[in-house]
Structure 1
Amino acid sequence: MGERGDEPLTPAGRLFLQPEMNQVIHCVIGLKNPIDVDSIKSQIRDSTLLKHPRFTSLMVRDPRGVEHWRPTQIHIDDHVRVIHDHSTPINNYLAELSIDTSGLSMDKPLWEIHLLLPHKCVIFRIHHSLGDGISLMSMLLASCRKLNNPDALPTIAAPSASRTARIQFKNLIVNLWFCFVFAIQFILRCLWIRDTKSAITGGPGVELWPRKIATATFSLEHMKTVKRAVPNATINDVLFAVISSGISKYLDFRAPNGLRDGVQLTGLAMVNLRKQPGLQELSNLMRSNSGARWGNKFGMLLLPVYYYRSNSTDPLEYLKRAKAMIDRKKQSLEANFSYIVGDFVMSTLGPKFASFLNYRILCHTTFTISNVVGPQEEIMIGGNPVTFLRANNSALPHALILNMVSYAGKADMQVQVAKDIIPDPEFLAKCFEDALLEMNEQVTPKM
């Protein structure tokens, strides 16, 4: 048994400590002004971070091997690393971190802050067992203020209700059918069904391969313009259309005769299962010790994209296909199903078996995608204006990992690749950017 005051890890927290699923999240914050190291340390001491038990506890195992959080004293200097190197670009530094979890030693709470002084950039590393992207965003924004109103917290747009409230009693039969179909697909994907091999396919052991990272930047105004071209479309629909089109463009370049039109390449999407009420509630995550709210609460969606020769396809067809597919996925409750099944497997069969199943899903699909909604307006932290927000995570068996964060009218998507499989992530990032520009040009009236 653990000592008095210890708190057991959640099932999801235990999963992310398994060797095959060992994951660290990196939140990247660009700043306008030079970094004052002493000021940063002082802000950390006074921040909400040190008021939350997850960030002030060690991960320990009892004699039965069960993990617990144990409160401990924080020594700021053990968690802050100051980097003076001018020669290593930010994305190269992140690529090295993505295959290195040794810095998060178990003899201290599982988080670090790296200060890249020459780049005026802060990298916040937390182990995924502490929480997910929504938890991390809540922690970050609780310490930020609006640039044009230093006394006000940032705001996050709440999703429209039109697409999230469609599951009604009259559609129950349809919903149950989609639930059944996608549940079977999910189970079969765990067991043996896998994607067609392509020039971007990873596989077992690829999580250990060297990485490269590039950044694709999108205008949210362009994404909104495109989504208005298809009734009831959403930003997420546009995102998956961009990914589908961008991957097709890239495969045209890398393997022009390698795939037939319509070949499915499956993405594994991480979907937040909390209600998205805006920042005021997100800030409460930091003030609440409730394990039901803070931590990891997300499901997985299998989201197919389809290869088509990019010079023979109407750009908006990608959006129409993405919308139809995501509408069916929402009716299926697949994300909720995956969360419930994952929690059941963790609780009954243990983290080793759950890790085995998750690893197989990763090896049987082609890429990972996550999308975190950030502040709508410019913000500052410690009085220093924030120029960009980005995120990425540790390497996975996928050769392609996509992490998008929106901030103040734009969205940055980190394109992380296994460089021996995808040697040119900068070109792939440009394929994604060009895909959105083509869709925007298609729907923008000519003068």
Structure 2
Amino acid sequence: MKVRISKEEEVEEQPLSPMARVFQSPEVDYCAVTIMGFKTKFCPDVLLDALKHNVSKHPRFSTKLSEDGAKWIETQVNVEDHVVVPIIDPEEIGEDGQGFVDEYISRLTTIPLDRSRPLWDMHILNVKTSDAEAVGVIRSHHSLGDGMSLISLMLACTHKTSDPDNTVIPSLKRRQAVPHGLRKQGGWFLRSIFTFGSTMRLIWNTSVDMLLLLATILFLEDTKTPLKGGANVGRNPTRFYRRTISLDDIKLIKNSMNMTINDVLLGVTQAALSRYLSRLYGKKNEEEGVLTSNQNHLPSKLRFRAGCTVNLRSDIGFKPLADMMAKDSKCRWGNYFSFIILPFSIGLQTDPLVYLKISKSTMARKKHSYHAALVYFIIKIILKVFGAKAAAAIFNRPVVNLTTCVSNVIGPTEEISFRGHPIAYIAPSNYGQSQALLVHYMSYAGKMIISLAVDLTVIPDPHKICDDMEESLKDMKAALSERGLL
């Protein structure tokens, strides 16, 4: 629709999508942040020129919210208002460039985006760190789009370092849902049995998942551990920590165990958090004078769960930005995602491969359920019938009762550059959630980048979680090697 502002001026208005309405609620005020390290010092004029020709014309990056928060309104974008290049005194940086950058980004999480203009900004820090000559920080309100949408926009603005005339679009293939042997000609009877059994499991799994979701909304809360946040955590400053591990090692384990990369990452996460928590409980026991020869200091029967984001687009994988913006695209721009609840197996295992077997089994079970699609459908219905506040409450309540959230995004397989500035790493994350720990993974140019978003008042030593992730991956690889499975 169009709204007439004056006799000469008309402004386009577009309604917000259901998930965008949810994210505009005060209870679910999430912001996406993408941290990029550059291999050279960054020229701000290059960024301003690129924004004027590209991003400022994007339908979501050139619109602001209406006063009631229900519609997008087209507006003129002054890109200088959205780009911040602070003048930094070298004495202020000191010897720890990374510490300065981390503190700067943490302060940003306490400064809300200006709602009188498009909800995004970019910060350029020409500060040398251990793995970059400069750092760029992109903030965008989650109502603008999900991770896949925002990364697709970034890819549209970059190019291969080795081939400046071409962009990089990551590809992703679906795994076969039906065993290959059942696809052979003449296997109609076996296919019928498989289909019937699969349908019954699908109905059962979905029913159980929805009952557990309802319980989580109403009363079922995770056990209070040193990693568990609270309802007010989202208002505290968020600190981001990053670690790079080998993507080749992850693929090696994936192929040896016949699983997916997501399965491996989930196994590594459970192993690392088990190590971390056991160490903390061990220190607590020492302080209380409780001595034991057992290396496992974890309490029994811990309820520890993670929310895991799920892409709902029928056409998976990244697509060129123009395709995502097309009206009838199967890979539409926006917030087309939901979540599932993953139970974590927190406990010290003598065999590190047990974590991988558990994660593979858990993910196989969750893939055979309509949980994610039903959550999205229910939120849409509640939004239409009861309004955005009720829908936001339904969305946020499970987040508060869970311990953490985990996501994985496939990134460029080759190094990319932004107008002659090679990118060393890309670390996407979020802030604003009522959780003290968020874990994001993103592959990039043969590496897997771990990005943790933490509340330091709850988790004062998040770098140790990164250490535990590295050690867990090494232990899994070593265990496979000892058994001759690599």
Give me the TM-score of the superposition, normalised by structure 2: 0.85
Mapping of 1:252-271 within 5 angstroms? 252-256=278-282, 259-261=298-300, 263-271=302-310
Mapping of 1:47-446 within 5 angstroms? 47=54, 49-61=55-67, 65=68, 67-85=70-88, 87=93, 88-101=99-112, 104-119=113-128, 120-162=134-176, 169-170=195-196, 171-231=198-258, 233-256=259-282, 259-261=298-300, 263-281=302-320, 283-286=322-325, 293-309=332-348, 312-444=349-481
In 2, the alpha carbon distance for the partners of 1:127 and 1:322 equals 32
- Judge conservation of contact 1:114–1:124 (CA < 8 Å) in 2: yes
Counterpart residue identity of residue 159, structure 2? R
Structure 1 residues 246 and 189, CA gap change in structure 2 (3 angstroms) = same
The count of aligned residue pairs is: 438
Please give the secondary structure, in 2, of the residue aligned with 1:396.
Answer: coil
Q: Which moved more, 1:77-86 or 1:220-229?
A: 77-86
- Judge conservation of contact 1:268–1:303 (CA < 8 Å) in 2: yes
Please give the secondary structure, in 2, of the residue aligned with 1:69.
Answer: strand
Structure 1, unaligned runs of 5 or more: none
Q: Which moved more, 1:409-418 or 1:78-87?
A: 78-87
Question: 1:15 and 2:22 equivalent?
Answer: yes
User: Residues 211-231 of structure 1, C-alpha deviation per residue, up to 9 Å, x if partnerless?
Assistant: 332213221111111112323
- Judge conservation of contact 2:220–2:401 (CA < 8 Å) in 1: yes
Counterpart residue identity of residue 89, structure 1? F
- Judge conservation of contact 1:81–1:113 (CA < 8 Å) in 2: yes
Give me the TM-score of the superposition, normalised by structure 1: 0.92
User: Residues 398-420 of structure 1, C-alpha deviation per residue, up to 9 Å, x if partnerless?
Assistant: 11111221101111121121111
Counterpart residue identity of residue 87, structure 2? H
Q: Which moved more, 1:272-281 or 1:161-170?
A: 161-170
Root-mean-square deviation over aligned CA pairs: 2.4
- Judge conservation of contact 1:206–1:396 (CA < 8 Å) in 2: yes
Structure 1 residues 214 and 297, CA gap change in structure 2 (3 angstroms) = same
Structure 1 residues 340 and 243, CA gap change in structure 2 (3 angstroms) = same
User: Residues 333-380 of structure 1, C-alpha deviation per residue, up to 9 Å, x if partnerless?
Assistant: 211121111222222211111222222211211001121111011111
Name 2:185's counterpart in structure 1.
none
Name 2:43's counterpart in structure 1.
36
Counterpart residue identity of residue 340, structure 1? F
- Judge conservation of contact 2:270–2:345 (CA < 8 Å) in 1: yes
- Judge conservation of contact 1:11–1:343 (CA < 8 Å) in 2: yes
Q: Report the Cα offset of residue 97 of structure 1.
A: 2.3
In 2, the alpha carbon distance for the partners of 1:201 and 1:178 equals 27
- Judge conservation of contact 2:379–2:394 (CA < 8 Å) in 1: no
In 2, the alpha carbon distance for the partners of 1:435 and 1:15 equals 37
Q: Report the Cα offset of residue 150 of structure 1.
A: 1.5
- Judge conservation of contact 1:178–1:332 (CA < 8 Å) in 2: yes
Structure 1 residues 45 and 383, CA gap change in structure 2 (3 angstroms) = same
Structure 1 residues 169 and 282, CA gap change in structure 2 (3 angstroms) = farther
Structure 1 residues 282 and 261, CA gap change in structure 2 (3 angstroms) = farther
Counterpart residue identity of residue 204, structure 1? A
Please give the secondary structure, in 1, of the residue aligned with 2:229.
Answer: coil
Q: Which moved more, 1:431-440 or 1:127-136?
A: 431-440
In 1, the alpha carbon distance for the partners of 2:121 and 2:12 equals 24
Q: Which moved more, 1:158-167 or 1:270-279?
A: 158-167
Counterpart residue identity of residue 474, structure 2? L
Please give the secondary structure, in 2, of the residue aligned with 1:368.
Answer: strand
Please give the secondary structure, in 1, of the residue aligned with 2:307.
Answer: strand
User: Residues 391-436 of structure 1, C-alpha deviation per residue, up to 9 Å, x if partnerless?
Assistant: 1111311111112211011111211211111100111111112111
In 1, the alpha carbon distance for the partners of 2:102 and 2:179 equals 39
- Judge conservation of contact 1:79–1:113 (CA < 8 Å) in 2: yes
In 2, the alpha carbon distance for the partners of 1:97 and 1:265 equals 30
Please give the secondary structure, in 1, of the residue aligned with 2:448.
Answer: strand
Structure 1 residues 441 and 157, CA gap change in structure 2 (3 angstroms) = farther
- Judge conservation of contact 2:250–2:261 (CA < 8 Å) in 1: yes
Structure 2, unaligned runs of 5 or more: 4-10, 94-98, 129-133, 181-190, 286-296
In 2, the alpha carbon distance for the partners of 1:23 and 1:40 equals 25
User: Residues 71-117 of structure 1, C-alpha deviation per residue, up to 9 Å, x if partnerless?
Assistant: 1111111010002335253333332223432xx11111111111112
Structure 1 residues 406 and 202, CA gap change in structure 2 (3 angstroms) = same
Structure 1 residues 276 and 406, CA gap change in structure 2 (3 angstroms) = farther
Structure 1 residues 11 and 77, CA gap change in structure 2 (3 angstroms) = same
In 2, the alpha carbon distance for the partners of 1:110 and 1:29 equals 19
Counterpart residue identity of residue 230, structure 2? G
- Judge conservation of contact 1:157–1:376 (CA < 8 Å) in 2: no
In 1, the alpha carbon distance for the partners of 2:82 and 2:50 equals 13
Please give the secondary structure, in 1, of the residue aligned with 2:234.
Answer: helix
| Percent identity for Structure 1 against Structure 2 | 31
- Judge conservation of contact 2:226–2:458 (CA < 8 Å) in 1: yes
Q: Report the Cα offset of residue 250 of structure 1.
A: 0.3
Please give the secondary structure, in 2, of the residue aligned with 1:162.
Answer: coil
In 1, the alpha carbon distance for the partners of 2:31 and 2:328 equals 22
User: Residues 175-230 of structure 1, C-alpha deviation per residue, up to 9 Å, x if partnerless?
Assistant: 11111111111111111111111111111111122333221322111111111232
